[in-house]
Chains A and B, each alone.
Chain A
Amino acid sequence: MKKPKDLNLDTLSLHAGSKPDSDFGARATPIYQTSSFIFPDSDTAAGIFNNEMAGHVYSRITNPTNAVLEERISSLEGGIGSISTASGQAALFLAITTILGKNSHIVASKSLYGGSHNLLEYTLPRFGIRTSFVDFRKPKLVKGAIQKNTGLLFGETLGNPGLDVMNIELISNIAHKNKLPLLVDSTFTTPYLMKPFDLGADLVFHSATKFLSGHGVVIGGLLVDSGKFDWSSNGLFKTLNEPYKGFHDMKFVDEFGPSAFINRARKEGARDFGACMSPHTAFLILQGLETLSLRMEKHISNTRQIVDFLSTHEEVKSVSYPELSDHPDYDLAKKILPRGSGAVFTFEIKGGYESGKKFIESLNIFSHLANVGDAKSLVIHPASTTHHRMDKAALRKAGVTENTVRLSVGIEDIDDLKEDLQEALKQANR
């Protein structure tokens, strides 16, 4: 018997989660810009509050526009549900604090976005959650870093800034052998390039500000639950296995089974931490998602051509991109990222710190700013901006040199982009 034909990514990215408006026939998802929702009667109010009926109470917890986005990303990732948050950072915080608390521990990749690193290294220890940062390319180090109180493994599909390709299958095997979940930041890849759940990840989050939106006009995050991890297998996950006083002694694993995590995250984290996404933001991210495939295809096509262009350019010392044979994860990228290794990469310009700065200041189409994943091409010089507090040794450890330049390649005309780079490279060492 043949597997039934489910809808494909291109269709889901336009339709999943939305039904045409039953009141007025609006085809687009309406923006339910309201703080709260009217209850038809007291018993219904009590029923929704008691989680015996489906419905909305207050937009900090759920909202119909956000719910469409949450279903859509769940469908694209192959998850059972998701929560939209105020930012990617809020999604990461929500993921961690839903399962971990005082005296717990995380094993994280050493190649992380600076914001995530700050949260894990400096902020969470104040709440009793500590992190060991290890090289995820070295499984022995990952295994060795797991402690009795470890409750989570965490890494990025494409690490920052060296584009370490995470071997999700390998890392998730280590996690699962230790009855631990694997959380993956999939911001750089999106479901168009990779679906981490298919490779063994248990939780995924996105900074939806980036490629999922593409327009660079919102800040938002999405936390997605695969529903695959058995939360009852490890006594460490008390928040999901023990009665929760904050919700009528609810035992999430008993009442929700595979969706225990995402329900706790909403009933506690969305309610109490309050880092919610506005319905207008959800609407704008939905507009972006509609063109995810088209944009990603162009992002990748442009990136590949620019990588080729820079790799042979006389003013460029080196280019780091997983599709280049000298990248340490070349084989892995071929296997798990066949559609492309993202549209963000770094290269080293010849000369030093000043050359890097001059190059960036000479660009016209590429915008000099601290973001990635915009439809517009972006550039940043890490040594003078995101990593400016680091000395040379620390920069080296982070995989950054004084003349490293990071590009986020947009979807403009490729000839225009090449010309912009060509002119700026000429200026860099003049």
Chain B
Amino acid sequence: MFYHPSSKKIKNTNPIIFVHGTGMDHTVWTLPVRHFLRKKKDVLAIDLPGHGNNKDKALSSIPNIADYIFTFLDKNSISNFSIVGHSMGSLIGLEMASKQPERVNALSMIGTAFPMQVNDALLDSAKNNSQIAIDILTFMGYSYSSRIGGNKNPGIWMTESTKRLMQKSGKGVIYKDLKACADFNDGLDKARRVQANVQLILGSNDYLTPKFKAKDLIQAFKNPVVEEIKGSGHSLMMEEPNKVLEYLKKLFKD
């Protein structure tokens, strides 16, 4: 499995593991990864199978992806860790934190909801013509205001950058990701089993995982911390990178 920074020794560490969402890769985490590295924390931003530099075949269920990551962690003797997941990555984090709760110190779910419903028409588009699915996911993935720009990160046009990342993912990968999100079940029971410190970072203008759809999930966790970013859509790390980092720093007491 590819992870960034690939030059770092990871054996026997207790890292923060960053898990990206549908059609994305590790580069969505570049800013927070750089922060925690500067603070001498162990961090790993992984590429899920079929994404970015990970040439393994994409998997189509959240539990299978979680098992895939567990296998990688076991091979590297990583017993305890924290997870930061965005969108699909947040469900993977939830699955891992409920399956082996004793191993997970903290869980941050960014841009999340349960159930994470996916429209049938979008699934069909992803199956038949992934460019339309990419266009829809990008369109819905940003707040109206962010679609016009005003990026905090100077000179980068957000929506096209997101499209380009998704275009990099292999054939059928976006469909598998979306299907994995749609099929993920027992989320509330799983949330109840989590022992880790839980944080949810939600965008007030998220059209893909609207904040009201995270309500049941919030109630199922024990004492979760909910952080809302006003005005942000679903692409919180692009739209509000500094606020996301601020909340992650809070979670990891940095």
Q: A interface vs B, CB < 8 Å?
A: 1-4, 6-7, 15-19, 46-47, 50-56, 62-64, 66-68, 70-72, 74-75, 78-84, 227-228, 254-259, 262, 266
Given contacts A64-B154, A67-B155, contact A54 B52 (CB under 8 A): no
Q: Given A6-B147, A19-B149, A64-B154, list of 5 further CB < 8 A pairs?
A: A17-B149, A56-B154, A66-B154, A71-B151, A81-B157
The reply to whether A53 and B154 form a contact with Cβ atoms under 8 Å apart is: no
**Residues of A close to B124: CB separation below 8 A:** 1
Docked complex Cα distance between A72 and B165 (Å) = 20
Stretch from B27-35, B72-80, B209-217 forming part of the interface with A: B27-35
Tell me if B226 counts as interface (CB < 8 A to partner A): no
A-B contact pairs, 13 of them (CB 8 A): A3-B136, A17-B157, A19-B149, A50-B38, A54-B151, A54-B241, A55-B242, A67-B151, A68-B149, A82-B157, A254-B6, A255-B34, A259-B161
The reply to whether B5 and A52 form a contact with Cβ atoms under 8 Å apart is: no
The reply to whether A54 and B4 form a contact with Cβ atoms under 8 Å apart is: no
Q: Please provide the chain B residues from 142 to 170 with a CB less than 8 Å away from any CB of chain A in the complex.
A: 145, 147-157, 159-161, 164-165, 167-168
Q: Please provide the chain B residues from 12 to 51 with a CB less than 8 Å away from any CB of chain A in the complex.
A: 25, 27, 30-35, 38
Given contacts A1-B122, A71-B156, contact A258 B161 (CB under 8 A): yes
**Residues of A close to B31: CB separation below 8 A:** 51-54
**Residues of A close to B34: CB separation below 8 A:** 50-52, 255
How far does the Cβ of A80 sit from chain B's closest Cβ, in whole Å? 4
The one of A1, A18, A67, A80 in contact with B164, judged by C-beta atoms closer than 8 angstroms, is A80
Given contacts A52-B31, A52-B38, A55-B242, contact A80 B157 (CB under 8 A): yes
Docked complex Cα distance between A75 and B156 (Å) = 10
Given contacts A53-B245, A81-B157, A227-B164, contact A7 B148 (CB under 8 A): yes
Q: B interface vs A, CB < 8 Å?
A: 4-6, 25, 27, 30-35, 38, 52, 121-122, 124-125, 132, 135-136, 139-140, 145, 147-157, 159-161, 164-165, 167-168, 241-242, 245
Docked complex Cα distance between A50 and B6 (Å) = 19
Docked complex Cα distance between A353 and B150 (Å) = 52
How far does the Cβ of A265 sit from chain B's closest Cβ, in whole Å? 10
The reply to whether A74 and B157 form a contact with Cβ atoms under 8 Å apart is: yes
Q: Which residue of A lies closest to B140 (CB)?
A: A4
Docked complex Cα distance between A4 and B163 (Å) = 13
Given contacts A55-B242, A257-B52, A257-B165, contact A80 B139 (CB under 8 A): no
Q: Which residue of A lies closest to B145 (CB)?
A: A19
How far does the Cβ of B3 sit from chain A's closest Cβ, in whole Å? 10
How far does the Cβ of A30 sit from chain B's closest Cβ, in whole Å? 13
How far does the Cβ of A195 sit from chain B's closest Cβ, in whole Å? 12
The residue among B31, B157, B164 with the most chain A CB atoms within 10 A of its own CB is B157
The reply to whether A80 and B161 form a contact with Cβ atoms under 8 Å apart is: yes
